[in-house]
Structure 1
Amino acid sequence: MRLAIIGAGNIGTAMAALLAQAGLEVTVVARGARLECIRAEGVALNDRGTLHQARVTAVEALTEPMDAVFVTVKSQDLGAALAANAAGIGPDTWVIPMVNGLPFWFFDQPAPFTDHTGDLARLNRERVLGAVLLMTVQTSADGVAVSSNTPTLSLGRAAGQGGDLGPLVQALNAAGVRTDVTDTIRTKVLVKLLANVATNPLSALVGCSLAEIGRNEALRTIAFGIADGFRAWAKAMGYDLPPNAWLGDLLLDAGEFETSMLQDARAGRTLELDAICRAPMAMAAQAGLPMTGLKALLAELEKAPALPLRDPSAALKNLTSHLTHTALERI
């Protein structure tokens, strides 16, 4: 199979290293210094002490159709990335956006804040695969992706039933990416988003790892309160999501892993607030279920002079107070 990966950050680098070392033909789309580095040195993944290194074709943009295109850019850059690589997407190409947040394909039309350029609405949804990847990855100073768990990937059709997914799934499994095809991809998306929405913006604000959020009573209370609002919206749509006990265990099991949003905050990059926070918040508001805890957290993020905060005590006090008042209003 001819596979392409658009975006050479944490996940893109890790996927490229695994797929290419397994003997697959992999093309990586990157820019600037990262493009030149991949051309010179290839890609590498340190998987719990085992180093996967491989050479790949590195380009600024795709010029011919691929069998499958994995898109691992930030969610707000997804439309522009696909438009710039339209030549790589033929009528039989699988398009697999591996981005955080509420995906553009979840509803019949892209939700607010999920299709910034309008390009995503024009994709052939029958060739779009929803993807939920469970993999903790950070990139070292020398450009090596570092992972602490076996990558687990769930794929599901955004629409339609056409096309044989067997060769793609077989290739992914052979490369060490544990892959399954599911009819419940939307449920899996919401389960992952529940964890992301409750932890990513909070971690960016206060500079804490997932385990630190799980151990700290004040942070855990805030995360659980935001999760409650998200879970209520999902329930109204017919999705039953795991309780806060599950979320608490997840935080502790994750260890000292820094969320992607905290990594972006430390690097001064744009945070994925649109897809992770604003999109579900807008849809919930349309359903008459305002996510007030999440709204308060976004307000604290927007007024912060720099992230993460050096002294988050005032922000935490405001959030805790807001969640307390919200809980009282529900009684």
Structure 2
Amino acid sequence: MRIAVIGAGALGGTFATLLARAGHDVTVTARGPGLAAIRADGIRLSGAFGDAEARPRALERLVETPELTLVCTKAQDAAAAISANAAFIDGSPVIVVQNGLDGVSTAERLLPHSDCFGALVIIAANYTEPGRVTVTTAAPSYLGRGSGPADALARAWQAVLAEAVPVTAIDNFVGAQWTKLIVNMLNALPAITGLSVQAVVDHAGLRRVMTASMREAVRVGLKRGVHFGALQGLGHRRLRVFSLLPLWLGQLLPRMMRARMGNVPNLGSTQQSIRRGQRTEIDFLNGAIVREAGIAGVAAPVNALLTALVHEVETRGASLTPADVIARVDALPL
């Protein structure tokens, strides 16, 4: 099958390589050093899915219509990337592989003639250098759309992707997006402190801050009437109970997530962007919680502060100490 992957970073590079290994005809879009590296040497994948190498066709923009397109850019780049390729992908199926809440709706708005789906990815991968990806945690991905049961088309595309990488078609995809957003609360503190996700969870003070951001995010979701979807052992009932727990007991949640990661340092996608000198997608992660809180008429001070601190690190180019982060959170009027 002819499959296009728009954005060949950590996840795009992973999907492109695994799809090529499964026998698909893969084209990727990339820019700058990434494009040059893929054209010269292909994509080399190592880590939890095994070692693999692919030499996909690499372009700045698509020049023909694929049978399936995966949009794997960062959330803040999605609209521009989709628009740049719309002439060739509007009318063919599109799967948005992205964090945050807006990916599928953005694709639907810009591609009115396409069937648009979303994929929630729990894989942890480090984009070590252009054309080089190391998968630190292998995990299933989850495909769907809307708030109802997984439909026949979602199941059909799940079967195609499952030839290359573990994928499950899920019901209540919108609720699962919210559950993944809670999981993505793992990203901000590593980006702010320069520590791995594992090191943040192992740090008592930072773990408390992370738990506070997660609990606040769940409470905002509940205020918005969200029914959280089932994802990685989390679901509506468990998250609702978590939202009621004191912080000392709620820390079991990030500890549980940390246990799934193993010991290979996971930098988190937000920190990887900072290390490459790129804009992060924090406005679509913790920032999304702040926006949803505003719609619900409630405050989200912890997530607002973490969003601001990530932007501070982006601007300064230097990490903050755990003590500084903890002090700033403790000064909030909670």
CA shift for structure 1 position 308: 4.3
Q: Determine if contact 2:127/2:272 at 8 Å carries over to the other structure.
A: no
- Following the alignment from structure 2 to structure 1, what is the Cα–Cα distance between the partners of residues 226 and 151? 26
Partner of 1:208: 195
Does residue 1:152 correspond to 2:140, yes or no? Answer: yes
Of all paired residues, the percent bearing the same amino acid is 27
The answer to which of 119-128 and 249-258 deviates more is 119-128
Equivalent runs, 1:125-144 vs 2, <5 Å: 127-141=115-129, 143-144=131-132
Equivalent runs, 1:68-147 vs 2, <5 Å: 68-91=68-91, 93-105=92-104, 121-124=109-112, 127-141=115-129, 143-147=131-135
Q: Letter of the 1:210 partner, please give it.
A: V
Q: TM-score, normalised by structure 2?
A: 0.84
Q: Determine if contact 1:130/1:158 at 8 Å carries over to the other structure.
A: no
- Following the alignment from structure 2 to structure 1, what is the Cα–Cα distance between the partners of residues 311 and 39? 38
Equivalent runs, 1:7-46 vs 2, <5 Å: 7-46=7-46
- Following the alignment from structure 2 to structure 1, what is the Cα–Cα distance between the partners of residues 49 and 138? 12
Equivalent runs, 1:158-197 vs 2, <5 Å: 158=146, 164-175=153-164, 177-196=165-184
| Structure 2, unpaired ranges of 5+ | 228-235, 243-249
- Following the alignment from structure 1 to structure 2, what is the Cα–Cα distance between the partners of residues 224 and 287? 21
Give the root-mean-square deviation of aligned CA atoms: 2.4
| Structure 1, unpaired ranges of 5+ | 327-331
Taking structure 1 as reference, are residues 125 and 218 closer, same or farther at Cα in structure 2, changes over 3 Å only? farther
Q: Letter of the 1:146 partner, please give it.
A: T
- Following the alignment from structure 2 to structure 1, what is the Cα–Cα distance between the partners of residues 272 and 37? 21
- Following the alignment from structure 1 to structure 2, what is the Cα–Cα distance between the partners of residues 127 and 282? 27
1:291-325: CA deviations, max 9, x gaps?
11111223334445524425342332111232xx4
Equivalent runs, 1:57-68 vs 2, <5 Å: 57-68=57-68
Partner of 2:217: 230
- Following the alignment from structure 1 to structure 2, what is the Cα–Cα distance between the partners of residues 248 and 90? 43
3-state SS in 1 of match to 2:255: helix
Count of aligned positions:
310
CA shift for structure 1 position 67: 1.6
Q: TM-score, normalised by structure 1?
A: 0.85
- Following the alignment from structure 2 to structure 1, what is the Cα–Cα distance between the partners of residues 216 and 52? 41
Taking structure 1 as reference, are residues 173 and 299 closer, same or farther at Cα in structure 2, changes over 3 Å only? closer
Taking structure 1 as reference, are residues 162 and 86 closer, same or farther at Cα in structure 2, changes over 3 Å only? farther
3-state SS in 2 of match to 1:170: helix
Does residue 1:321 correspond to 2:309, yes or no? Answer: no
- Following the alignment from structure 2 to structure 1, what is the Cα–Cα distance between the partners of residues 128 and 49? 14
